[in-house]
Every structure is written in C-alpha cells, then in structure tokens.
C-alpha cells in the first residue's frame, strides 16, 4: 500500500468524522440539558438534507455562486432548528418528568411521523443534490485526486467546535447550557427561565443536525432511510465521547471516522461491527464515556418505575385470564386468518413478557430486545435451512441462541445503568443486525431465508397454533413464577437500591446478568416459534423498529404489571394488523399512537384497568 | 477477642490526604463513635472499613481475618451489617418484604427460580421486625413510613444477616430529636445483649456522648484524640477544634441524662 493512498484514506476519514461531529454535537447538547435521548435527531438530519435539496437548487437558479450555496445550507439548518422548537414546545415539554424509556419511545414516535411526512412531501425516490459551486474540482495530494468539497468538510468540524466553544464560554445562553448539563435542578433553583433555555437548546441541537444534513447534499442523495442509519452512528459518538460533552463528541467522531476509513481496508464487511466493538471497549473501561461524568445522584429515594408488588391475581384478573385462554383455544373455530393472528399474538406476548421481565421487574431498559428474538429465529431457521434439521431440535436451539447472545452482550450491558445501558443494548442489537445483514453467504442478507417450515405433524395452521399456545403459555407461566420467586425479587431489590442489595450480600451484577440471559433465552424461543409460523426469516426481525414494537407492547400493556404485556401484545398486534392494510400512512398513525400512549396513559392498559376498578361505582 | 482491628488506613484523593494512617480497634458488644468536623475523613474511613472504598494503604482485620478491600457483599457474608446515612431500602417492597429479602440473601437463596418468595422466612422476618419495634407495620409499603421508622426497618435488614459488626453511617441523620434518642437506645440495647460491635459516625453529640463506649476524634484525616466520652470531652484540643464551648456543655448534659 502506498503512503499517498493511506493519506487520502485518512483525509476521507477526517471528512466523515467532521460531518459526524456536527450532527452528534447537537445530540449531545440536547441530552446534556434536557436529559432526553432524542431519537428524532436523525430525522432532523434527514430534514436538513431534504430542505437543502429543495432550497439550494432554487437559490442557485439566480446565480451559481458559492455564497448562495452556503446561504441555502445555513437557511436549511435554521429551518430545521425551528422544527426543533416546534417539537420542544408541543411534545418534549410534556415529557421531561416521565421515565426515560417513555421519552425514548415518544421521540421514536416522532421519527415514524417524520418518515411518513417526508414520503408524503418529497416522495419515495431519492433526490440528488447540486454540487457546491467553486468546490467541484479535485485537489491533487501526492498524485491522488481528492475532492475539494471533502477537504472543505474536514474544516467544518473544527470550525463548529470553535464556534460552540465561543457560544458556551462567551454567552449567557452557553453558560446556562453548561450549567444545566452539570446540574439541572440547581439551574432551576437559581431562577433561570427553564422553558426558554430548553427551547433554545432544542433550536441549537436541531439546527446542528440540519446543518449536518444540508452539508451532505453534494455527497449523498436525500433519502427516507437516512434518519435511522445516522442516528445509530450519532448515538455511538455521543456515548463514546460521554453524553453531554461536546469535546468528547469531537474526539469520538475522530476515532470513529478514522476507524471506519482504515477498517474498511482490512475488514471491508464488518466496519459497523468494529465501531460497536470500540464502543463496548470504551464503555467497559470508562462507563460514562471518554469525557462524560456520572449523573449526580439526586440524593433522595424515589419509587422506581416498573413492577412494584407482583400481587396475586384477584377474581377479575382470573376471569379475564380465563376468557383470554378460551379465546386462544377457540380461534381455530373462527377462520384461518384469526388463527394466524392468534399465533402471532401468542409469540409476541412471550417476547413482550420477556422484555418486561427486564424492564418492569429488573429496571433494565433494553432498547434492543429484538436482537435476541431475531437471533433465536435465525438460530432455528439456519438449522432447518442450512443443516437440514427438523423443527423440534431447531426449537430447542432457538432459546439457546437467544440466551447465548444475551449472555455475551449482557456481560457488558449490566455494567451500566439507565440511559447508557439502553444505548448499549441498542448498539449491540445493531451489531447483530449488521452481521445478519452483511453475512450474505450464510444468512441470505437482506432477502433472508425461506423454507423454515414446521415438521409434518405440526404443518397445519391449527396444530401449529396449539403447539405455539402450549409452548408460549408454559414459558409465560414460568417467567411469571420467576418474578414471584426469590430470583425475581432479587432483581427488583437490585433495581430499587443497588447499594442496599450489595450491602445484604447480593452480587448485583451477576444477578442482572443472569436475568438478562434468561430474558434473552425466552425472547429467542419466541423468535424460533415466529420463524416457523412465517416460514421465513429476514433481518427486520432484529431491527430497531421491532425492538420499538416490543417496547410499545409493554408500554401499552403497562410495565407495572406482570401480565399486562400479554394484553399489550394482543392489543398492539391486533391494531397493527387491522390498520396496516387500510392505510399507506401506518407509520404516521403508529407514531401518533405511541406519543398518545406516553401522554395519556403512561401506566398502560393494566394501569387503566386497575384505576377503573378502584373507582367507586 | 478483638472484633475489628484497623491498622494504618490511608486514602488519598488527588492531592488531598483524606485519611492518614488511621488505626483503632473495636471489641464485641462495644459501641465506637467516630466524630469530627465536616471533611475530617469520617466517611472515607467508614467506607474503607465497609468495602465501598479501597484503601491506598493499611489493613482491616475482622476477628483475626484480613478483609482489606473486600467488597461489601463479601463483608456481609462474613458478618458485617451496614446502614446508610440516607436510609437505603427496597422501596417497592413492603416492610416485611424488605426483611424477607435480606434473609433470602443471607441464606444464599437469591437464585431460586420457583418457590414463592413472599412465603419464605416470614416468621424470622417478623421476629426481626419485633426486635426493632416495627412488627405492627409489617404489611405496609415501606414508602409510607415516617423516616425514623424507615431507619428502624433498615436496622432490621442489617440484623437479618446476623452480623458481628454493625457499621452505621450517621444513624440519626434526618430524624426528629425524639426519634434519635429512641433509635440510639435501641441500637445500644441490641449491641450489648447480642455482643455485636457497632462502629458509627455521628454529628449529633447527644447520641454520641450518651451511647458510645469510646470515641475517636478525626480532624483532617488524622485521629487527634481517643478514649472514653469523659476523656474526649475533657480534651482541650477536641474542645478547641470541634466541640467548642456549647458543644462541651451539651456533651456533659447528654452523659448525665443517660447515665445519671
């Protein structure tokens, strides 16, 4: 390899790093002040690109000058900043005090809404942007041609860093941002207008994302998939750098840009995996990121969100349960379609209960539970398709695959807590997704694998439905039992006060790891059953939207109850199955419903049911 | 036999020497108080003994066994119970459930997947609650209790592991004055009758001088005085740097009211 080639590779790594920093700096500033991890940050980036590919060509009609190009880019950033303000005023303001799981879900609702709106306004076809006047040529560096625009991008990152530094240290607004990042309550106590501060922060954060998107238009076409791909990278940058730290984000973006530029030379297929491995390594050594700080302990005890006292079922609960059971068993009397939906509901209910075993019972907010579901499906599916094994051993392999992956990832995950933990589970899920997506020879890549059919005796829909019913209900009953058992109680105890659990002799990390593994195995079992019910597997089973579906189910069902997630899975899946064929805009509806759920009944169906019954007649 | 022997414990935070060669010993059934102004290194010393902080130098010996730097879950298993300055309990559990949880951990049953946790160790938990006077409240959620009662339950949790040594970090912090005296009397009674050694830090001089058998005075990471309450109260150095005149009078008053 020649030096000149390596140099150009390094320069292009720096250019990506620079772009990544511009985007991630906005995310980290917003998190520092509001303590909300804003999934919609990727949507702001996408909107920046779309606004720019609309606005900049229009401006260039007047005159093809570099000035007008950059005026267009800046105007796009400001327009997106205004959208950030709209989001803060209409949504975020109402959810600053709700648990972080709900905040994540609500901002993901915004992601879904924006995706549909973008499709509605700009259509499904990618839009290529104009090239920047004056920066269209190539520059020769040691005989290698390097695009001038990329060279320009290298300087944008440091320039934004310098401007942010000036803003943070020379203006009152910036000083308040830094103060709020360190101690939000104290800033409130000093009589600062919090509403203005938060709105301003969202403007700044969204504008930076919009700027990042607008600057990309000469390099990449605007498409409706750019939001989720960038948000994962931006999450990784902020987590490695330390959430809330702008210089940390800068260092992390540099590390990742260079890692990707050189990693692609050595391991062309698994650059994404390299990035996440870097993140895992950093978090094990420095759990709060390179320049991050642990959240100042509030110093007061608050009742945790989640299962409080897993009390006995009362009579109404038992009646509901019996009705549900009869419905499940009677579905084959209705029609084939009802059986299909019923089978899926049972499988998803097991996945949701296994997730709530972590979230509700253990306080471990996993944002990547679909990984274990999907790996279970792939574990079973590969055995059938590639190894020619029958269904029975494949169904035994599914929980083993899910559990093994959860044991491996969980080893790192349980070292963290709160939002860092959620981000790491998300990152690991993305690794699993990337591996399945890119390892085409084995997994079939994007297309997945077909031909995952049950054994002959279970081939009919009805028999498979009853098989699924027996397996999932047994697993759910088992998980419920574990929640009531000493192990479940210990997980709740560690959630309530890790310090106290430690002082009574509990190895908190070990128990959380075992719990994570158990939940992963249960999700894997559900995934295996799902594969056979569909006859095929594909990477969407491991994707972020699938994880969000599971979270929506437990949110809808109520994370405070043991069996609420079952009701949540049934309601969620039935609604989705009903509405999906009716509309082209199901994302819009799903997004609005998630936000509605977070705002209207944060305690879910089970909570609504309980409060209805408590009310005197 | 000496229950706890601390030799030359040292801890440095950057340029600050938070504890400088701190040494002391504690017998079974004895109550030893560590007092000193804020920032004197009380909590640092305390956390090094309790396993929350690893000392830079020195040793901690429990009943002849070197336990320096062991994590607190390991210390718990060899007989060290602990209460915290801000009471740490399991907020989603009932009062009874909190003590049951501690008993499950003490019996090494936390990994059992099938039995019903709510039915285990009920009687033992009720008995422990009885000892701290909280049996009547057993069924209530712990979040509903007055803070002084929470501290009592925390004591029962610590006692569930049948400790030989109790570490209590400011046991009466945040409590109403009448609750303080009652809690300290309860602790002293349990310690003497069951031969449990108690090491505690405290800002409330009434509690210290009324119940401690011996007192250590820590200033800037160093022990400047040690001895019986009378000796410490009379020490001119202690009066100068810590107690002041009103503090000295209060200390004398506390001693007289309790011991006649």
In a domain, B245, yes or no: yes
The mean of the pLDDT values for chain A is: 89
What burial class does residue B76 get, using C-beta atoms within 10 Å of its C-beta: 0-12 exposed, 13-18 middle, 19+ buried? Answer: buried
| CA–CA dist A412, A427 (Å, integer) | 11
| A87-91, A172-176, A221-225, A303-307: range with lowest mean pLDDT | A303-307
Q: How many residues does chain A have?
A: 617
Tally C-beta pairs within 8 A across A and B: 117
| A30-39, A182-191, A351-360, A471-480: range with lowest mean pLDDT | A182-191
Give A71 or A143, the one with higher predicted confidence. Answer: A71
pLDDT computed for residue A615 by the predictor: 56
What are the backbone dihedrals phi and psi of residue A177, each rounded to the nearest 5 degrees, phi first?
-60, -45
What does the pLDDT average to over A540-565? 89
Contact A445, A542 (CB under 8 A): no
State which residue of chain B sits closest to A495, comparing Cα positions. B90
Tokens standing for B123? 């009687």
| CA–CA dist A571, A559 (Å, integer) | 15
pLDDT computed for residue A134 by the predictor: 81
In a domain, B90, yes or no: no
Residue B55 confidence (pLDDT) above 80: yes
Residue B245 confidence (pLDDT) above 90: no
In a domain, B138, yes or no: no
Residues of A (279-308) whose Cβ lies below 8 Å from B: 299-304, 306-308
Q: Do B110 and A302 touch (CB under 8 A)?
A: no
Phi-psi domain of A210 (left: phi exceeds 0; alpha: psi -120 through 50; beta: other): alpha
What does the pLDDT average to over A294-322? 72
Q: Residue A94 has what DSSP assignment?
A: G
The total of structural domains in chain B comes to 1
Q: Do A490 and B101 touch (CB under 8 A)?
A: yes
pLDDT computed for residue A469 by the predictor: 95
In a domain, B178, yes or no: no
Q: Do A484 and B72 touch (CB under 8 A)?
A: no
In DSSP terms, which residues pair with A139 in a beta bridge?
Answer: A146
Residue B111 confidence (pLDDT) above 90: yes
Please, which pLDDT band fits residue A135 given cuts at 50, 70 and 90? confident
State which residue of chain A sits closest to B157, comparing Cα positions. A504
What does the pLDDT average to over B182-200? 92
What does the pLDDT average to over B77-85? 91
Residue A272 confidence (pLDDT) above 90: no
Collect all residues with Cβ–Cβ distance below 8 Å to A231 and sequence separation of at least 6.
Answer: A39, A41, A42, A45, A111
In a domain, B40, yes or no: yes
What does the pLDDT average to over A368-397? 95
| CA–CA dist A214, A233 (Å, integer) | 17
Q: Note the pLDDT tens digit of each residue in A228-266.
A: 888 888 988 998 999 889 999 999 999 999 998 888 887
Q: Of B246, B234, B88, nearest to A301 (Cα)?
A: B88
Contact A559, A606 (CB under 8 A): no
pLDDT computed for residue A213 by the predictor: 95
> Which residues of chain A does B119 touch, with a Cβ-Cβ cutoff of 8 Å?
none
In a domain, B62, yes or no: yes
| B4-18, B149-163, B170-184, B237-251: range with lowest mean pLDDT | B237-251
Give A404 or A180, the one with higher predicted confidence. Answer: A404
Residue B213 confidence (pLDDT) above 90: yes
pLDDT computed for residue A96 by the predictor: 84
* Dihedral angle computed from the Cα positions of residues A468, A471, A475 and A481, in that order, rounded to the nearest 10 degrees: 120
Please, which pLDDT band fits residue A196 given cuts at 50, 70 and 90? confident
pLDDT computed for residue A617 by the predictor: 40
> Which residues of chain A does B92 touch, with a Cβ-Cβ cutoff of 8 Å?
303-304, 306-309, 492, 495-496
Q: Do A505 and B105 touch (CB under 8 A)?
A: yes
Three-class DSSP category at B166: strand
CA atoms within 13 A on the CB side of A344: 16
Tell me which residues of chain B have a C-beta less than 8 Å from any C-beta of chain A. 71-74, 76-77, 81-82, 84, 86-94, 97, 101-102, 104-106, 109-118, 120, 141, 143, 157-158, 160-161
pLDDT computed for residue A300 by the predictor: 46
Residue A297 confidence (pLDDT) above 80: no
Nearest beta carbon to residue B112 from set A300, A487, A493: A487
Please, which pLDDT band fits residue A15 given cuts at 50, 70 and 90? very high
Residue of B51, B72, B90 to mutate for A, most A C-beta atoms under 10 A = B90
CATH of the domain at B4: 3.40.50.300
> Which residues of chain A does B97 touch, with a Cβ-Cβ cutoff of 8 Å?
309, 489
Domain encompassing residue B211: 1-77+197-260
> Which residues of chain A does B110 touch, with a Cβ-Cβ cutoff of 8 Å?
486-487, 490, 506, 511
Q: Do A484 and B117 touch (CB under 8 A)?
A: yes
ipTM: 0.90
> Which residues of B170-258 form beta strands (DSSP E)?
197-201, 214-219, 222-227
What does the pLDDT average to over A97-110? 85
| CA–CA dist A19, A213 (Å, integer) | 9
pLDDT computed for residue A439 by the predictor: 87
Q: Do B86 and A300 touch (CB under 8 A)?
A: yes
pLDDT computed for residue A298 by the predictor: 44
Residue A565 confidence (pLDDT) above 50: yes
Give A590 or A205, the one with higher predicted confidence. Answer: A205
In a domain, B60, yes or no: yes
Tokens standing for B147? 């803070």
Three-class DSSP category at B6: strand
Residue A1 confidence (pLDDT) above 60: no
pLDDT computed for residue A333 by the predictor: 85
pLDDT computed for residue A613 by the predictor: 67
In a domain, B30, yes or no: yes
> Which residues of chain A does B161 touch, with a Cβ-Cβ cutoff of 8 Å?
504-505
In order of A28, A92, A149, A201, A282, the CA distances from A89 in angstroms are 19, 7, 36, 12, 35
State which residue of chain A sits closest to B50, comparing Cα positions. A503
> Which residues of chain B does A485 touch, with a Cβ-Cβ cutoff of 8 Å?
112-117
Q: Of A494, A515, A495, nearest to A504 (Cα)?
A: A494
Q: What is the pTM of this model?
A: 0.88
Q: Do B104 and A303 touch (CB under 8 A)?
A: no
Residue B177 confidence (pLDDT) above 90: no
Smallest CA–CA separation between A308 and chain B, in Å? Answer: 5
Strand pairing report for A449-450 and A536-537: antiparallel
pLDDT computed for residue A114 by the predictor: 95
What's the sign of the alpha-carbon dihedral A381, A387, A393, A399?
negative
The mean of the pLDDT values for chain B is: 89
> Which residues of chain B does A487 touch, with a Cβ-Cβ cutoff of 8 Å?
110-113
């Amino acid at each position: 390899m020649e030096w000149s080639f390596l140099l150009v590779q390094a320069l292009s790594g720096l250019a990506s790093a620079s772009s990544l920093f511009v985007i991630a700096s906005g995310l980290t500033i917003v998190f520092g002040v509001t303590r909300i991890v804003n999934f919609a940050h990727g949507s702001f980036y996408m909107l920046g690109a779309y606004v720019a590919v609309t606005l900049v060509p229009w401006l260039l009609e007047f005159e093809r000058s570099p000035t007008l190009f950059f005026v267009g880019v800046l105007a796009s950033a400001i327009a997106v900043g205004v959208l950030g303000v709209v989001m803060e005023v209409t949504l975020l303001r109402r959810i600053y005090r709700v648990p972080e799981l709900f905040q994540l879900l609500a901002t993901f609702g915004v992601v879904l809404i924006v995706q549909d709106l973008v499709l509605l306004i700009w259509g499904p076809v990618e839009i290529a942007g104009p090239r920047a006047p004056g920066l269209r040529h190539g520059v020769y560096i040691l005989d290698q041609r390097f695009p001038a625009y990329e060279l320009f991008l290298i300087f944008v990152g440091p320039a934004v860093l310098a401007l942010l530094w000036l803003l943070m240290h020379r203006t009152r607004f910036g000083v308040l941002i830094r103060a709020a990042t360190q101690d939000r309550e104290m800033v409130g106590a000093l009589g600062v207008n919090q509403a203005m501060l938060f709105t301003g922060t969202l403007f700044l954060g969204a504008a930076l994302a919009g700027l990042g998107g607008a600057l990309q238009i000469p390099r990449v076409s605007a498409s409706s998939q750019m939001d989720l791909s960038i948000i994962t990278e931006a999450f990784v940058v902020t987590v490695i750098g330390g959430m809330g730290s702008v210089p940390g984000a800068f260092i992390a973006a540099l590390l990742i840009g260079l890692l990707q530029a050189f990693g692609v030379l050595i391991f062309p297929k698994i650059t994404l995996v390299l990035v996440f491995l870097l993140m895992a390594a950093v978090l094990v050594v420095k759990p709060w990121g390179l320049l991050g700080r642990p959240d100042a302990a509030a110093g007061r005890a608050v009742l945790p969100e989640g299962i409080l006292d897993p009390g006995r079922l009362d009579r109404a609960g038992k009646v509901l349960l019996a009705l549900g059971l009869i419905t499940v068993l009677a579905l084959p009397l209705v029609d084939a379609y009802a059986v299909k939906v019923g089978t899926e509901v049972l499988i998803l209910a097991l996945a949701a209960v296994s997730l709530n075993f972590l979230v509700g019972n253990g306080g471990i907010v996993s944002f990547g539970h679909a990984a274990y579901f999907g790996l279970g499906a792939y574990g079973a599916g590969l055995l059938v398709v590639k190894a020619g094994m029958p269904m029975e051993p494949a169904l035994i392999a599914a929980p083993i695959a899910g559990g093994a992956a959860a044991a491996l990832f969980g080893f790192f995950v349980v070292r963290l807590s709160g939002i860092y933990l959620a981000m790491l589970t998300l990152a690991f899920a993305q690794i699993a997704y990337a591996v399945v997506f890119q390892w085409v020879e084995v997994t079939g890549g994007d297309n997945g694998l077909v031909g995952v059919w049950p054994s002959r005796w279970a081939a009919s829909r009805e028999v498979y439905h009853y098989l699924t019913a027996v397996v999932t209900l047994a697993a759910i009953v088992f998980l419920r039992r574990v929640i009531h058992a000493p192990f479940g109680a210990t997980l709740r105890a560690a959630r309530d006060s890790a310090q106290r659990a430690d002082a009574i002799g509990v190895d908190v990390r070990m128990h959380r790891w075992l719990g994570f593994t158990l939940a992963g195995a249960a999700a894997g079992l559900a995934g295996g059953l799902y594969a056979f019910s569909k006859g095929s597997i594909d990477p969407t089973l491991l994707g972020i939207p699938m994880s969000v579906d599971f979270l929506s189910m437990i949110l809808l069902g109520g994370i405070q109850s043991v069996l609420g997630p079952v009701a949540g899975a049934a309601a969620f899946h039935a609604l989705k199955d009903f509405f999906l064929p009716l509309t082209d805009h199901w994302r819009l509806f799903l997004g609005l419903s998630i936000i509605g759920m977070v705002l209207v009944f944060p305690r879910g169906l089970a909570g609504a049911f309980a409060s209805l019954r408590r009310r005197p007649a | 036999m000496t229950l706890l022997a601390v030799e030359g414990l040292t801890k440095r935070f950057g340029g600050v020497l938070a504890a400088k060669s701190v040494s002391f010993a504690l017998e079974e059934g004895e109550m030893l108080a560590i007092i000193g102004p804020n920032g004197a290194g009380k909590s640092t010393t305390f956390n090094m003994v309790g396993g929350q902080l690893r000392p830079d130098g020195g040793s901690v010996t429990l009943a002849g066994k070197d336990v320096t730097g062991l994590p607190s879950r390991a210390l718990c298993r060899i007989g060290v119970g602990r209460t915290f300055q801000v009471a740490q309990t399991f907020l989603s559990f009932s009062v009874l459930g909190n003590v049951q949880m501690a008993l499950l951990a003490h019996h090494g049953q936390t990994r059992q997947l099938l039995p019903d946790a709510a039915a285990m160790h009920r009687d033992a938990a009720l008995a422990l609650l009885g000892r701290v006077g909280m049996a009547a409240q057993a069924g209530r959620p712990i979040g509903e209790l007055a803070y002084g009662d929470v501290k009592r339950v925390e004591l029962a949790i610590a006692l569930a592991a049948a400790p030989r040594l109790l570490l209590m970090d400011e046991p009466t912090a945040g409590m109403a004055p009448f609750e303080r005296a009652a809690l300290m009397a309860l602790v002293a009674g349990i310690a003497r009758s069951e031969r449990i050694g108690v090491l505690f830090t405290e800002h409330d001089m009434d509690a210290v001088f009324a119940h401690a058998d011996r007192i250590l005075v820590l200033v800037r990471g160093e022990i400047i005085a040690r001895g019986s309450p009378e000796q410490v109260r009379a020490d001119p150095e202690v009066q100068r740097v810590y107690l002041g005149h009103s503090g000295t009078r209060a200390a004398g008053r506390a001693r007289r009211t309790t011991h006649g």
